[in-house]
Amino acid sequence: MVCDRCISVVTQQLQHHDLQVEDISLGQAIVSPEPSEEMLSKISASLKILGFELINRDKDKLVERIKNIIVELIHHSTQPEFHVLFSEVLSDRLHRDYGYLSRLFSESEDITIEKFIIQQKIEKVKELLQYGELNLNEIAWQMGYSSSAHLSNQFKSVTGISPREFRSLEVNNRKPLDSI
């Protein structure tokens, strides 16, 4: 789950299965009573229809937490957090060595954490470009890039077009966060 609507849909599904949702956040739900294996199977099936899946293995949960932290930092937090090292934040929050987290993420997702971060940042840049309130230098600074040239090069390598070309498009090419 990477957005409020996702959380809402999952909450509704859990309540539909007569579970009391005590707490729900990105990638985690605490419910009562404790669901049986049969109930988990039913919940899994109903969520799968909606494009969600239950994460049961500890390693899968950890990968999901990595994604959620990255999404939170990029899409749901204040400017100064873009200027921190993601490797340090992930290690600190997850109490694990970054090398281990990086290997686990790459094995699970077939993409490096760094590339995932770049994909997320580019989606945020697309959003900022569409708003049209900031120029490219301001966006580069806000997103933690060393320069607008660095941002432009990375943007073009990911999207195939320059930020200026993207801004002039009539139809946007933004992706939903949960499909990245």
CATH number for 76: 1.10.10.60
Residues 74 and 39 in one domain: no
Residues 88 and 161 in one domain: yes
Confirm if 26 and 66 have CB atoms less than 8 A apart: no
**So what's the pLDDT on residue 26?**
64
Rounded to whole angstroms, how far apart are CA atoms 10 and 68? 16
Residues 72 and 123 in one domain: yes
Q: Which H or E run includes 25?
A: strand 20-25
Would you give the distance in Å from CA 5 to the centre of its chain? 14
Residues 88 and 165 in one domain: yes
CA dihedral 31→32→36→42, nearest 10 degrees, is -50
Residues 103 and 162 in one domain: yes
The 3-class SS string of 84-118 reads: CCHHHHHHHHHCCCHHHHHHHHHHHHCCCHHHHHH
Residues sharing a CB contact under 8 Å with residue 145, sequence separation 6 or more, in sequence order: 151, 154
Instruction: Return the structure tokens found at 80.
Output: 């100064």
Residues 107 and 153 in one domain: yes
Selection from 98, 100, 74 nearest residue 88 by Cα: 98
pLDDT by 10s per residue, the chain, length 180: 457 788 888 888 889 888 898 888 766 788 888 888 788 888 888 888 888 877 667 788 899 999 999 998 898 876 555 667 899 999 999 999 999 999 999 998 999 999 999 999 999 999 999 988 999 999 998 888 999 999 999 999 999 999 999 988 866 665 655 555
Question: Which domain does 20 fall in, by range?
Answer: 4-54
Rounded to whole angstroms, how far apart are CA atoms 38 and 78? 42
Instruction: Return the structure tokens found at 3.
Output: 């957005």
Residues 133 and 174 in one domain: yes
Q: How many domains does the chain have?
A: 2
**So what's the pLDDT on residue 169?**
83
Residues 31 and 18 in one domain: yes
Selection from 75, 100, 73 nearest residue 86 by Cα: 73
Residues 139 and 75 in one domain: yes
Residues 37 and 110 in one domain: no
The HSE-up count of residue 105 (CA atoms within 13 Å, CB side) is 24
Residues 81 and 101 in one domain: yes
**So what's the pLDDT on residue 177?**
56
Beta strands in 26-170 (DSSP E): 28-32
pTM over 0.75: no
Instruction: Return the structure tokens found at 146.
Output: 């060393």
Instruction: Name the maximum alpha-carbon separation found in the chain.
Output: 54
